[in-house]
Every structure is written in C-alpha cells, then in structure tokens.
Structure 1
C-alpha cells in the first residue's frame, strides 16, 4: 500500500490511441492489430494478453459495433471506434457497447459527426480521469489505514490490501452500474423515437 502511486504509474493508465497514432490511410486487419498491440502494450496485465485479435475485429463487425468495412480495410473512423470498444469492454457487455455506439456509427455513415473532435474530447476526459484517480487513491489509502488502525488488527498488511481491493472493486461496480443506467436510457430514448 505504501507504493500505491508507484503501482498506479506502472499500469500504463495514460495509454491511449491518439489521433496522431492513427494513419490517414486505411489499414488491413493485421496492420490494425499491430497498431493496437504497439500502442496498448503498456496497459496489459500480462504480456501474453492480446489487445485485439482477428476474431475480436470480426465479432465487432458481425455484431455491428462498427459500421461496415470497405475492401477489407479499416478506416481512421473504424480505428477510433475500436479504441472506444477496447475501453468500454472492460465494464460493459457487447450489447451495451453496441447500443452506446449505434448513434455514432449512424452519424459516421451519414457524415454527420466530426469524429476526430469527439475523440479528442474523449481523450481529454480520460486524461483528467487518470489525474483524478491518482488524487482519489491517496485519500482511499488514508481511509483504509484509518479503518485498519481503528479495528486494531495485528497483521494489518494483508488486511489493508484486501480492504483496499474490496473498496476499489465496489467503486468500480458503482461506476459500472451508473454507466449501465445511462445505456438503458439510450435504449428508452431510441424506442421512444421509433414509436413517434
């Protein structure tokens, strides 16, 4: 627990696919996989983990999480969507991701969105989230230490970590549930528009 900030810094939380990382030419599947592996390598929990595979990409296409591919090549917009999917799949079901991205996919098809601008906003928010997390973690460490000291546990080292893990998982679940509620509201909004 003493090295919490060091641990956080080692996780590659700032890792993202920036607009500068995305080439202005369409890429074949193997090139897309290599781009994601190179850019998200620092965020892997284990080195053998795969960031993106052919099966994943095919499932995204078949599941309509991304708009149709042309000539077996993936555009800049496809790569941005896959980056969003990569982040969303850590907390949401594939169906929830499909609902979340369906309007964006339609706007891309209709040429009604400046996706670069939207993605830039997303990257700015995620950067701020990492800063906020680091500040919040300092407070959580203090809170856990206080709880353990008040409980007067003799072997507090392991208990501190278990309490911290439990607290973090609970917070993660709270955020996930709020996100799922927002997804549900998207479904209600779409159904309401269809009925009109």
Structure 2
C-alpha cells in the first residue's frame, strides 16, 4: 500500500505507485484560445495593411482643417493680350473740308492715301458742319468703330474730336476744321499706333492649390 492511501481505504479506488496524477485543461478550451489569438492577430494585420494603402494613395499627407494649404504655387490669371487693330488698308475715310480754305480736303486725302488708307468721298463738309468746326477736325464713325478703326485714324490727327453716329456702313469721316494745320508727322502717328497696340498690364497673380 502506498503512503498516499488513507487508512481504511482500499479496493479499486486505492492509489498506488510513486506518481500523482496531473491536472490538465481540456484540449477544446486550448484550441478556442488559440483561435481567438489568431483572429486578433489577423485583424491587426488587416488594419495595418489598410493604413499603409491609404498612405500610398494619399501620398502620406493628411489635409489640415486648421488652416490653408502651404504648398500653393503662384499662378498668373491670364497672359497679357495685345490689342489687335485694323490696318490702314482696311479703313475707308471720307475727307470733308469745313473751312474756307480751298483744296484742303484733297491734299489731306492724298496724304492719308500715302499712309495706306483707302479714300472714299472728298469734298466740302455737309451743312451741319460747314464753317462750324473750330477745332482741328472731327472724326465720325459707327459705334462699332469707337475702339478700333476710329482709334487708328485718330492717331493721324491727335487734336481731332471723336464722335459716333447711327450709320450702317464702316466708313469713317474726317471733317477738317479751322484749327487744322496738317496731319501729324508719320513718325508720331506710328508711335501713337504702337501705344494703342501695346499689351495691357498683367493681371495680379493668384495662388493655385
């Protein structure tokens, strides 16, 4: 009988030998714990992988809601545009004399023709202007010519008054007045045309983000 067997106990429940039984947890519980640990590990890997993919597609940068972006680059709104004006050869001018000097309309028309303009009617001014223009002259044209052909003709006579009327055609009228001393010098007229065609000032730059 072993020393571990209490007195009076025997039979089939008697403990014999020099080793005692070991208590082990059931195998089913061990498998369940292992499965839970594995699931947690897999979920952790999936979450980490998702974060890595987000960083790849977003460049690893997060938008800041606290203030504006700081990686903006200046960008001009638009490039400066050169004003396109018609050439003298595209403009027909009627020359009228509102003074008492004879031959003034013809000599002026001849000079304009030398400068490339097309010449229409040449003669005395209509009654509403005859002997009534005290300035160097009056330039008349349709409203559509205000910033185009009328400006080109005005470059030939700086002191002329510019007006528009309801005419249907594109022809311009040059009505010579008492203050007329002759057309501006060709060099001065060219400089005036150059200034008219100069590019407009560049627009202020903006940041493009």
Do they fold alike, i.e. is TM over 0.5? no
Instruction: Write 1 or 2 for the structure with the bigger share of helix.
Output: 1
TM-score by length of 1: 0.26
Which has the larger Rg? 2
